Structure 1
Amino acid sequence: MSMPFDVWGQRGWASVEVAGESHHAKAIRTVLGNDFKPSGTEVRVDVELVPEPDNRHDRHAVAVRAGKHLLGYLPREEAVRYSPILSRLVSQGWTPRVMARVWGSEWEGYEDRRHREFHGSVRLDLAEPHMLAPANAAPSSTHRLLPYGHAIQVTGEEQHLDTLSAWLRPEGECWVHATLHEVVQQTARASRTVVEVRIDDERIGQLTPKMSGDMIPTIQHLAEQDTITTVRAIVKGNRIKTEVVLHALRAHELPDTWLESRASTQQARAAAPTVPAPPAPNVTTATPASEPIPPPPTSFRFNPPPDWPPPPPGWTPPNGWRPDAAWPPAPPGWSWWVASWD
Structure 2
Amino acid sequence: MTKANSYFRLWSPGRSTWCNQEVAGVMRRQHAIERLFPPTWNRDGEELRTDVELVPEPDNEHDPNAIAVHVDGTPVGYVPAEVAPLWVRTIRRISDSDCTAITSGRIYLYERDDWSDWSASRPTKKTSIRFDILLPENPDDAIPLNDPPALPHTMLPKGGIVQVTKEADYFDTLFEHVPESGYGLLYATLHRDVVTTARSSRAVVAVHIDGAKIGELTPAMSAKFLPMIDHLDTRGLVPACWADITGSTVAAEVRIDAVKAHEISDSVLDGPPTVVPSLLPEVVTTWWYDVTTPRQHRRTNVAVGR
**Structures share a fold, TM > 0.5?**
yes
Q: How does 1:87-166 map to 2 (within 5 A)?
A: 87-110=92-115, 111=117, 112=120, 113=122, 115-127=124-136, 128-166=138-176
Counterpart contact for 2:148–2:277, Cα < 8 Å = yes
Q: Is the 8 A contact 2:105 2:132 kept in 1?
A: yes
Q: Percent identity?
A: 33
Aligned residues of 2:53 and 2:73 also touching (Cα < 8 A):
no
CA distance in 2, matches of 1:10, 1:255: 20
The answer on whether the counterparts of 2:13 and 2:256 sit within 8 Å (CA) in structure 1 is: no
Aligned to 1:5: 8
- Which of 28, 31, 35 aligns to 1:30? It is 35
Bigger relative CO (Cα 8 Å, ≥ 6 apart)? 2
Alpha carbons of structure 1 residues 323 and 52: separation in structure 2 relative to 1, 3 Å:
closer
Q: Does 1:19 align with 2:24?
A: yes
Secondary structure of 1:108 counterpart: strand
User: Match for residue 298 of structure 2?
Assistant: none
**101-110 vs 29-38, greater mean Cα deviation:** 29-38
| 2:193 aligned to which of 165, 183, 189 | 183
SS at match of 2:262: helix
In 2 relative to 1, CA 44–288 (structure 1 residues): closer, same or farther, beyond 3 Å?
closer
Contact in 2 for aligned 1:183/1:196 (Cα 8 Å): yes
Counting only pairs closer than 5 Å after superposition, residues 3-82 of structure 1 correspond to structure 2 as 3-9=6-12, 15-82=20-87
Give a deviation string over 1:136-182, Cα, whole Å, max 9, x none.
Answer: 22222311111111101001112222322222223322211111111
Q: Quote how far apart the aligned CAs of 1:59 are.
A: 1.1
- Preserved contact between residue 93 and residue 282 of structure 2 (Cα < 8 Å): no
Q: TM-score, normalised by structure 1?
A: 0.75
C-alpha contact (below 8 Å) 2:189/2:238 kept by paired residues: yes
- Mark the runs of 5 or more structure 2 residues left unpaired by the alignment: 292-306
In the alignment, structure 1 residue 193 sits paired with structure 2 residue 203:
yes
Look up the equivalent residue of 2:68 and give its one-letter code. A
Q: Is the 8 A contact 1:14 1:101 kept in 2?
A: no
Deviations 1:207-228 (A, max 9, x none): 1111111111111010010111
Matches within 5 A, 1:244-323: 244-263=254-273, 268=275, 271-274=276-279, 276=281, 289=286, 322=288
Instruction: Return 5+ residue gaps in structure 1 as ranges.
Output: 279-286, 291-321, 326-342
Deviation string 1:310-336 (CA, Å, 9 cap, x unpaired) is: xxxxxxxxxxxx4989xxxxxxxxxxx
Query: Alpha-carbon deviation of 1:288?
Result: 6.2
Number of residue-to-residue matches in the alignment: 281
